[in-house]
Amino acid sequence: MRVFKMKKGNIVPFLRSLEEFGEVWGPVKKGDNYVYAHEDPEKFDLSALRTLIPAKKFFLPQKSTILKFKNGNWYTHSDCKKRVIFGLHPCDIHALNIYDEFYTRVYEDPYYKSNKEATLIIGLSCLPDEHCFCNLTDTSTVEKGFDLFFTELEDKFLVWVGSPRGDDILAKRSDMVEDITKEDIKDYIEWRKRRENMFKVDLSFTGLPEIVSASYDSDIWDKMGSACLSCGTCTMVCPTCTCFDVEDEYDIRADEMNRNRKWYSCMFREYSLVAGGHNFREARAERLRLWYTHKLVGFMSEYGDPACVGCGRCVVSCPVGINVLSIVRALTGEKNDAFWAKTEVKQI
């Protein structure tokens, strides 16, 4: 993997030049959160840690039309656009690698594939806050799944080339980069040491799949079920959740119809409701157990890695403190400040 150096003053002109490839998106501040926006790169906030909605929205949109019915025939439909996504941190790139496994390994989803091929991924380094735990999930660094990756040092960026497309981009902009020196390598090593010492979550994930499996009948799930709002926030902000629903939207007067795909959540009661009115997971506790068992056990047995990248979105987003960290603490007997862990069991 080749590495170059870029002066900080070149980053905005560099990103602006990528408009020839497609729309350039990056993190900007919106209220108390960060979002990906198609703005002038001058407005991108390089200090942004986690966006409210992860980059999965570019590859599996929150709602998209996949088929159109008109004049008695169905037509394939795609809203695919060429884009450059700048500012993805290592954990989010790992999440996209999980998406890639899920949507191409067994059945190649043509909509996902077209969106992926039309997207240039440019990663950006980050410094963790008190909610980050990507060091525990081995996703604090990344070696694949990007075209270019920028590591921000004090007065420069180190630019890692991750694909032939990324190599071509730098070749056409060779005046914006230069070769690295031994001093640059030294600066990078010092930065890595400083970053590793900034992680604050002190928790062991050793043997977690076995612990979760052995705790399948634990009353901890019922305690969580008593507190859960079934709002689905955890699944919407999670960068690795893949569930969707398909619905037909039609106008009988015009004899036209759209078949739409939209995000869905296994936290919703209707998710497991089948014909005849039977619900396989009526209780909230059952739906929570399904989700976390899938994330921490099921996905690992199928793909070799857990479907959690330690981004901390579930930690900051759940209004009642149900997240990977609080659950791991509960299952392993660690100190747990979540209010639900101290309540009486009441199954809902």
Q: Give the per-residue SS3 of 109-176.
A: CHHHHHHHHCEEEEEECCCCCCCCCCCCCCCCCCCCCCCEEEEECCCEEEEEECCHHHHHHHHCCHHH
Residue 344 is predicted with a pLDDT of 61
Q: Provide the strand spans (E) within the chain.
A: 3-7, 23-30, 33-37, 63-70, 73-76, 83-88, 119-124, 148-152, 156-161, 178-179, 244-251, 256-263
Tokens describing residue 197: 């010492």
Q: Give dist(CA 175, CA 170) in Å, integer.
A: 9
Kindly tell me the burial class for residue 34, based on how many C-beta atoms sit within 10 Å of its own C-beta (0-12, 13-18, 19 or more): buried
Mean pLDDT for each consecutive 10-residue tract of the chain (348 residues)? 94 97 96 95 96 96 92 86 97 95 90 95 97 95 97 96 96 96 96 96 89 91 92 95 91 84 93 89 92 89 87 95 93 84 59
Residue 347 is predicted with a pLDDT of 46
Residue 52 is predicted with a pLDDT of 95
Residue for token pair 């703005």: 39
Residue 313 is predicted with a pLDDT of 96
Q: How far, CA to CA in Å, does 161 sit from each of 2, 137, 141, 191?
A: 5, 24, 14, 19
- Domain range annotation of the chain: 3-196, 208-342
